Amino acid sequence: MILGTILIILSAVFFPGIILRAKSIASGRKGPGVLQPMKDILVLLRKGSVFSHTTSYIFQWAPTVSLAAMITSMLVLPFGKYDAFLSFEADFVFFSYMLAFGKFFTIIGALDTGSSFEGMGANREALYSMLVEPAFFILMGTFAMFTGYTSFSDIFANFFITNNHLMIIFGLISLYLLIQIMMIENSRLPVDDPKTHLELTMVHEVMILDNCGFDKALIHMGTYLKFATYGSLIFASVVPAGWSLSWQIGLFLVMQFLLATTIGLLESFRARNKMLKNAQFILTLSAIALVGFVIVLIITHKLMN
């Protein structure tokens, strides 16, 4: 069903603006409007792109390929009781690798510039993505083991099938992990600060220093869509698929709003980790995912066999 994809795109229009508004209110400033990020994208779309003579076609293709990979990954997420536009066995692996494919082109595009600063940011981006991947696959594997399915559509359609009190604990663990994975994959606090302008401590922003105009607009669009996509994944993991469509749509929009507001408030009062502590922090997520895995083993009585 294409409705889920439409709602993700709609959420992506407002998601970054809500984060900015939350930050502005928390800091006592008037700040920009909710639609300011979209206005910035429209300005960038009307501008041309400038390419350095040291770059090749890889740098020119990277923004388009990354955005295309992001859009493709959106199509495997279901909405409520309706199957995703693309649904097949082990599609959560496809989802992860499409995101990785887009990030891979962003990384090699940064390396293609020959800049030592962009290479440093690309190195950190690759490291953080590599470290957070086990937590995501442990969590998705736990979902698959609990429901007996490997497709997003089937997993979330059969996820809320038990009244075991341990499911509350597992639900909180999965919610925490998905939020942290979303923050890391989008290079936000506590591993990166998008407002940082010191190249030595930047991660994602230093990778796109050479991008401008139309290409930079595509990069920002991909980032906003990734936020909303993870928000859709979080929604599917906490709201039962059997509820009515009108409730599903309303709760989806409310949850996206609350998620964006929470991110804005957290980034207003939370400091970024020291660079050397990021790897330890990310690896801790895998340990937490293993706790959730053990809980599901207990619920399904497989730990006793």
For residue range 161-201, list pLDDT tens digits in order. Answer: 666 677 788 888 999 999 999 999 988 888 888 777 766 67
- Beta-carbon neighbour count of residue 28 at 10 Å? 7
Residue 107 within a domain: yes
pLDDT in tens, 107-135: 999 999 988 888 888 999 999 999 999 99
Selected residue with higher pLDDT from 199 and 23: 23
In this predicted structure, what is the pLDDT of residue 294? 92
Residue 304 within a domain: no
Please state, rounded to an integer, the average pLDDT across all residues of the chain: 90
Range picked from 70-79, 242-251, 291-300 for highest mean pLDDT:
70-79
Model confidence at 3, pLDDT cuts 50, 70, 90, reads: confident
Cα 47 to its chain centre, rounded Å, is 27
Selected residue with higher pLDDT from 274 and 131: 131
User: pLDDT exceeding 70 applies to what percent of the chain?
Assistant: 96
Q: Are the CB atoms for 8 and 229 separated by under 8 Å?
A: yes
Residue 287 within a domain: yes
How far apart are the C-alpha atoms of 108 and 193, rounded to whole Å? 22
Average pLDDT over every residue of 139-158: 90
For residue 49, is pLDDT > 90?
no
Query: Could you give the 3-state DSSP secondary structure of residue 220?
Result: helix
Average pLDDT over every residue of 36-42: 94
In this predicted structure, what is the pLDDT of residue 230? 95
For residue 305, is pLDDT > 60?
no
Q: What is the CA radius of gyration of the chain?
A: 19
Q: What is the domain extent for residue 278?
A: 3-299
DSSP-H helix ranges across the chain: 3-26, 36-45, 57-74, 91-111, 116-147, 152-157, 166-185, 204-207, 213-238, 245-269, 278-299
Residue 79 sits at φ, ψ, to 5 deg, of -135, 115
* Cβ neighbourhood burial of 125 (10 Å; 0-12, 13-18, 19+): buried
Model confidence at 1, pLDDT cuts 50, 70, 90, reads: low
Angle between helical axes of 57-74 and 91-111 (0-180°, round to 10): 160
In this predicted structure, what is the pLDDT of residue 162? 64
Structure tokens belonging to residue 115: 């800049």
Model confidence at 289, pLDDT cuts 50, 70, 90, reads: very high
Selected residue with higher pLDDT from 242 and 297: 297
Average pLDDT over every residue of 22-40: 91
Structure tokens belonging to residue 193: 């600060």
| Amino acid present at 103 | K
Our count of domains for the chain comes to 1
Q: Is the pTM of this model over 0.85?
A: yes
Q: Are the CB atoms for 44 and 213 separated by under 8 Å?
A: yes
Residue 305 within a domain: no
